[in-house]
Structure formats: C-alpha cells, structure tokens
Amino acid sequence: MDISPDLLQQLQNVKALILDMDGVLVDTEPLHMEAFRRYLMRYNLPHDDQYIFGFIGFSVPDNMRAVYKRFFHSTDEKKVAQAIKERDAIYLQLLRETPLKPLPGIPELIRFCQSRELPVALASSSDWEQIEVIFDNLKKTSSGSFDPRQIFKVVLSGEAVPQRKPHPEIYQRVVQMLNVKPEQALAIEDSPAGVQSAKNAGLICLALKSRFIAQEKLNEADLKLNSIFDALNLCKKALQ
C-alpha cells in the first residue's frame, strides 16, 4: 500500500486510536438492512434488495423519514419516531440472536496499540443500548477473550452529543476525554459521514472500503483501506 511521506510523518505522532463501531469494529450492516426489510414487510411495503441497499450511508432517522414521505405521504415526526423505535426493536433482537465477531484484523490492531500503550476509544453514532448489546455479544461469542468494556478507554454513543456524525462534536469530545490533540488521534471509519466527522474535528482518518458504499464517497479520508490489516501494517511501519 502506497503512503505519502506526509501521512507517514503524521502517523508517527499518533497517541490514540479511535474506532467507529458499525462496519469497523463489527459488521452490523447486514443486520441493519435486515431490520429495515422486516419492518417494511410488516406493512407490505417494497423490500427488495435494490430498495434496501439505497438506505446505506444514511442514518436510520433519515431513512425512516424517506419511507414515510414516499409511502405514507407524511412528515409527521411523532409517527417517524415511533417507526424508528419499532425498527430499532427488530434490530436489537437481531443483535441478540446473531453471534458477532470483531472484523478481521481488529484484535491484532488493538493488541498492537496496547503494546505501544496507545489508548483505544470508540466513537459511534449508534444509541447506547445498541452498543451495550453488541459489547455483550462480542464478549459472549469470544468466550470472554474479546471484551470491549476492557478494551476501550472511552466510549461515546450518538446520544452523548447534541449532533451526530457528520458533525465533528463526537470526535472533539473523545480526543478531549483522551487528553490528546486532534492531530495526535487516528480514526478509522467506513462511511462518508464518519470520515467527514473525523476530518472536520482535525483527526487523521483512514477509511475502510465497504461493499455497500462507493469508494469515491470516502475521498475525504487521508487513505482508504482494503482491510483492517492495512491499518495494522501502517501503524507498525509508523510506530516501529
């Protein structure tokens, strides 16, 4: 993987790693899509793959507003909020039923950071209840060998800040809590909103390519990754 001398120099000054959750720590995108599918089926609405995949890259509230506007000709925020609650209940059930594992390379990257005494944090737009269920699932599936509550020094949910990604506030808060400068923090994201959030907060940002999102939408990142192992190799090269 080609890396510019400037980016390598920036990585040499990294003092903390901050991960996104959905799509970086763990692959939850298929479960998000299945939750939407089951919600739409419940009301006999179109639920083919082409329509469902159109939700990717947008927040649950934005997607549900689009559903209500298209099929119910309504912008009633109370009804949208109830629909979000209903879809999220389906999603939580799927999270509880489906064994989850960290993305390949995540355990190795975390172990490397720990060996260099770099704190690892989580900055997620998901709600706290979803984070808790995913943490429980990862610990259970790994028989306790991968316990996010023991790994992350700081965990912030979307509810912890007034404005979620792409607003930079969640990253601003995390670096403040880690007591590092923004330019000393490395973020790994997989969505345009996440990349924009990290970059606007002044962080170095690596974007993990996704089968769900067009690569050009991640161009704001400092570098695009084929896998988490690419991030691990970059960190090893910069922090050897």
pLDDT at 1 over 90: no
Whole-number percent of the chain with pLDDT over 90: 89
Residue 47, pLDDT score: 94
| Sign of the CA dihedral running 91, 129, 57, 113 | negative
Q: Give the model confidence (pLDDT) of 125-179 as tens digits.
A: 999 999 999 999 999 999 999 999 999 999 999 999 999 899 999 999 999 999 9
3-state secondary structure the chain: CCCCHHHHHHHHCCCEEEECCECCCECCHHHHHHHHHHHHHHCCCCCCHHHHHCCCCCCHHHHHHHHHHHHCCCCCHHHHHHHHHHHHHHHHHHHHHCCCCECCCHHHHHHHHHHCCCCEEEECCCCHHHHHHHHHHHHHHCCCCCCHHHHCCEEECHHHCCCCCCCCHHHHHHHHHHCCCHHHEEEEECCHHHHHHHHHCCCEEEEECECCECHHHHCCCCEEECCHHHHHHHHHHHCC
* CATH fourth-level superfamily of 5-27+101-238: HAD superfamily/HAD-like (3.40.50.1000)
Domain ranges of the chain: 5-27+101-238, 30-97
Residue 147, pLDDT score: 98
Higher-confidence residue: 52 or 198? 198
Across residues 176-186, what is the average pLDDT?
99
Residue 157, pLDDT score: 96
Cβ pair 228, 208 in contact under 8 A = yes
pTM of the model: 0.94
